[in-house]
Amino acid sequence: MKSLFLTGFMGSGKTTIGKQLAEKLSLPVIDTDEFIENQLNKTIREIFETEGEKKFREYEKHFLKLVPTENTIVTTGGGIILAEENRAWMREKGYVIYLHCEPDEIIRRLKDDQTRPLLDGDKENNIRTIFSQRLPLYNEADLKIDTMNKNPDEIVEEIEQLIKTLE
């Protein structure tokens, strides 16, 4: 099977759901942010602070290409879809699954989070603004899952059912 690329806004649950899905399907999982952090030996926040977002996007583009394109669950950073090149790559090499979550719920989930530099400052306003800018890009996915009012187990189950339609 082609790899599955989970996309969605910060806090939509990509990293959490991807780990559970991989375990259930007995497949390896790679999180692009964790991959970048391990390769550079720096946190995402440190990369943003010392090298800037533009450089981070270059790393993201570079490391995306190194991820296996078969039989792997790939959980991406929320901004991976900003580059047309990344969207085209993921759709060509795998299946793109968008985890949808409304801004109000993202705000609740990330209330105490300090690891996402793009949300520094007026977090609520930043979430709403960035969300509306990106929504059309997330919607280019092959499949969309609504994560609202569902726990991770339910979402994993839903993805399992949906991917059966892909094969």
Ligand X SMILES: O=C(O)C1=C[C@@H](OP(=O)(O)O)[C@@H](O)[C@H](O)C1
Q: Residue 83 gets which letter from DSSP?
A: S
Residue 123 CA to residue 92 CA, distance in Å, equals: 34
Q: Is 18 annotated as a binding residue?
A: no
Give least dist CB 81 to ligand ADP, A.
12
Residues in 100-159 at the binding interface with ligand ADP, rule: CB under 6 A: 109, 147, 150-152, 155
Which is nearer to ligand X, 44 or 64 (by Cβ)?
Answer: 44
- The reply, when asked if residue 78 is annotated as ligand binding, is yes
Flag whether 132 is marked binding.
no
Of residues 16 and 69, the one with the C-beta less far from ligand ADP: 16
Taking CB within 5 to 8 Å according to partner kind, which of ligand ADP, Mg ion, ligand X, none is near residue 69? Answer: none
- Alpha carbon distance 140, 135 (integer Å): 9
Interface with ligand X by CB under 6 A: which residues?
10, 14-15, 33, 44, 77-79, 116-118
The counts of H helices and E strands in the chain are 7, 5
Residue among 134 and 166 whose Cβ is closer to ligand X: 134
Q: Which two tokens stand for residue 163?
A: 């991917």
Classify the phi-psi angles of 102: left when phi > 0, otherwise alpha if psi is within -120 to 50, otherwise beta.
beta
Q: Mask of contacts with ligand ADP, 8-37, x by CB under 6 A?
A: x-xxxxxxx---------------------
In whole angstroms, how large is the CA radius of gyration of the chain?
15
Please say which residue, 108 or 166, places its beta carbon nearer to ligand X: 108
Alpha carbons 55 and 60: distance in angstroms, whole number? 9
CA distances from 85 to 1, 22, 74 (A): 22, 26, 17
**Can you give the binding site for ligand ADP, defined by CB under 6 A?**
8, 10-16, 109, 147, 150-152, 155
Specify binding-site residues for Mg(2+): 15
